[in-house]
Chain A
């Protein structure tokens, strides 16, 4: 624990919510302290109470919340102490922003779309003191410059939609910084951003501490981010803090079984190499020559522009093959065209150029009628398990759909034995078949989704970020299951993810997509071990790894790369 006096002291905080289904205890008896200039990370799975804890520091809970305990906020100069829990109205307003400021997860919703950013920054100032219009503007320009917005004199009058996602997050941080708060509470500040942008925001947060002297409460479930930035870590589970330790000891010697489990579940780069080798060895001779299940040549997919807008080329001249039984991992940042390729293979998006052979059918110009029989042999797992099920059908009915559609069964009832079998395969209790999707957890739903996609014993499975909506621990189990099923059924697969570590874990080969072009392709060892394309290099370098020392090294490397880029 660092020496400085605590800027935040949370004592025996409990928060419960009144809901339709009774009282929910979100936070139970939490005590925490944050020292000046310290970065405290709060980690834990979804729903463990991280956000609620963070929000209660600013008294930002809804009326349905009942808060007990004490939250003592010290002003930065140490001049005053307030118990936020008892503060009301204007007094609460005084503390907010001045003693503690918040950075939100979604920069696009945290900015008011109809006011210029400079005005929004000035609003915070105005709430805490007298500033003339000019002074406020100067301060806004100044802080914008310091968070790295180029040309701030000019940009200060722009509206949020005129900035990129990363820039918006910088502006949100600037809004917090301009008040010079004792502590900045950042609730998953990078989750909505690409890895490469994430690295820059993390860098900025570090500067917040170093240059502005603000303590930071960082909420995240990305262990890499924790390793990158945090001094101390608190692990939450079911509303309680189960472990608190400084970052090195936590990663090297986790005490609690839950923490150990959590760390173990985090996918790490390089783990897949051995597995890939083993699988490659197990392949029969002549496998290389087998007709590919999917074969793309100069694939080009264009989204037509509307109203005299130019067309948008989402995928541009991409060529690759997926052979029977092979898993191809597809990575790339948001908007690079991963999903588009997956959808094109499944016949959901029209191919506009080049050639795409799927199970022997040319997709360029294919007719739905001609493709329908092929669909029987393709499975698809969607990213969001919550929305990929019709909320009005039971799991069993949903899993039976492919069987009924392809006349393997007369109706959902008749398909039930096969459905039960499938559920068993994905390790779900049979009884879950009678539940509705919303009565399952995310992980369970994704299992059911796997079951559905396997119902017809497909030769090809397309998985579009099947785990990105899941907690690490849940993700680990779903990935494991995927691997198992793939071995068992031997289907070929296109595995899409933005997480290199996840792809590495499963894929035989990895393809890196950048702005619609395939920039690199090869085995995990080739792509991750010796990236050739600068984008892959940058991507790798910006990926924080869940190990503080290792991450410190990588950060140095990243800074080098960036300096080189800049120069």
Chain B
């Protein structure tokens, strides 16, 4: 929810951003070097985030008191805090945590004893599935409409589309989700209220050998048409809620960048040679706009995850974001910290991948 608009500012600057990076890369030698350095940059990023999150979370006190404070007497509590090592100097704990994180151990939730890394596999798949659906919606809605808006620039359909885009990200996901549920699940009864599958389907999916956790894949492997339909039905509303949020941003992003490239000399040059307007839009302006679009879309991953937290909560989509709010509610700060750091790693890695894709698309870098 929150990065929304600033990304947009970013998007204004985006067409500049990519070439600037390109320039840097070209100074920096080959693509290989660039990718290596870009990859190494993940480390400080993650390091900074781990550090920030650790100290912020621990500034409130130790997680045991947070989770169990109410139930135990002071002595019992102190005993447990001591056992878990939370009474040692913060720095000692920090370095220990750091060491653990770099060996892939993100800790274990206090409230239910689950290793955080295990959550990546159990809930990560659900989040991945949701994000995947949402991206489909976002791409299907945002990109064509963005192009349309750029094409019909400054006419009324453009204004309508832009207001639509803004409304998409001005509406809090939880509010929008609630309205969707009310209309489509309760009043019309077309779609299920929440969850990833109905009970029967859920049981079948779970008992499937070697289930991936991605229900759609599992359902297809199961080969039961009804289960597939059931899984898809459950995905519709969350995908729309999260997808439209992102679609609004994509729309705006595509519009801005395509208008930007439409004004570039090379489009003008192609126009001067009689290339038709439609083709200018579809090829000459769109392709170059794609590079900054992809770069900024990469930054949207962060936003998408923020949105996913709220969407998953609204629709009981049991993914990482859902789990995060659960742990927040339980004040299980070890788990919160673990998931947050996990998400940070995901974001850092995704951004890296997106940058690589952008670099590969950009011929200035590829050659």
| A-to-B contact residues, CB < 8 Å | 58, 60, 89-90, 93-98, 101-102, 104, 106, 109-116, 120, 123-124, 126-128, 158-159, 161-162, 172, 175-176, 179, 305-309
Residues of B within 8 A of A176 (CB): 273
Per the 8 Å Cβ criterion, residues 36-88 of B in contact with A are: 37
Interchain Cβ contacts under 8 Å between A and B, 20 examples: A93-B277, A96-B274, A97-B272, A102-B273, A110-B266, A110-B268, A111-B269, A112-B288, A116-B363, A120-B266, A123-B283, A127-B276, A127-B279, A158-B367, A172-B269, A175-B273, A305-B27, A307-B28, A307-B33, A308-B29
8 Å CB contact of B274 from A110, A127, A308: A127
Once the chains are docked, how many angstroms separate the CA of A159 from the CA of B287?
Answer: 14
| B-to-A contact residues, CB < 8 Å | 24, 27-29, 33, 37, 264-277, 279, 283-284, 287-288, 290-291, 361-364, 367
Residue contact B270 to A112, C-beta cutoff 8 Å:
yes
8 Å CB contact of A123 from B270, B290, B363: B270
Residues of B within 8 A of A98 (CB): 274
Residue contact B276 to A175, C-beta cutoff 8 Å:
no
8 Å CB contact of B273 from A101, A116, A161: A101
Residue contact B27 to A114, C-beta cutoff 8 Å:
no
Q: Output the residue of B29, B37, B269, B367 with the most chain A CB within 10 A.
A: B269
Residue contact A93 to B362, C-beta cutoff 8 Å:
no
Once the chains are docked, how many angstroms separate the CA of A175 from the CA of B209?
Answer: 61
Residues of B within 8 A of A89 (CB): 277
Once the chains are docked, how many angstroms separate the CA of A161 from the CA of B37?
Answer: 23
Residues of B within 8 A of A115 (CB): 283-284, 287
Given A110-B265, A162-B367, A309-B29, A90 contacting B276 (CB threshold 8 A): yes
Residues of B within 8 A of A96 (CB): 271-274
Residue contact B275 to A114, C-beta cutoff 8 Å:
no
Question: SS class of chain B's interface: helix, strand, loop or mixed?
Answer: helix
Please name the residue on chain A nearest to B263 by beta carbon: A62
Given A114-B288, A305-B27, A123 contacting B273 (CB threshold 8 A): yes
Query: A216 to chain B: closest CB distance in Å?
Result: 15
Residues of A within 8 A of B273 (CB): 96-97, 101-102, 123-124, 127, 175-176, 179
Residue contact B275 to A60, C-beta cutoff 8 Å:
no
Residues of B within 8 A of A124 (CB): 270, 273-275
Residue contact B363 to A159, C-beta cutoff 8 Å:
yes
Residue contact A109 to B271, C-beta cutoff 8 Å:
no
Residues of A within 8 A of B288 (CB): 112-114
Residues of A within 8 A of B362 (CB): 113-114
Residue contact B364 to A161, C-beta cutoff 8 Å:
yes
Residue contact B270 to A309, C-beta cutoff 8 Å:
no
Once the chains are docked, how many angstroms separate the CA of A97 from the CA of B279?
Answer: 15
Query: B164 to chain A: closest CB distance in Å?
Result: 24
Query: A489 to chain B: closest CB distance in Å?
Result: 41
Residues of A within 8 A of B271 (CB): 60, 96
Residue contact A113 to B364, C-beta cutoff 8 Å:
yes
User: Top 8 closest A-B pairs, CB basis?
Assistant: A109-B265, A97-B273, A307-B28, A97-B274, A124-B273, A96-B274, A112-B266, A102-B272
Residues of B within 8 A of A159 (CB): 363-364, 367
Once the chains are docked, how many angstroms separate the CA of A101 from the CA of B270?
Answer: 10
Query: B235 to chain A: closest CB distance in Å?
Result: 35
Query: A144 to chain B: closest CB distance in Å?
Result: 16
Once the chains are docked, how many angstroms separate the CA of A309 from the CA of B269?
Answer: 35
8 Å CB contact of A95 from B267, B270, B274, B290: B274
Please name the residue on chain B nearest to A159 by beta carbon: B363
Once the chains are docked, how many angstroms separate the CA of A115 from the CA of B366?
Answer: 12
Query: B63 to chain A: closest CB distance in Å?
Result: 42
Residues of A within 8 A of B265 (CB): 104, 106, 109-110
Given A307-B29, A309-B27, A60 contacting B268 (CB threshold 8 A): yes
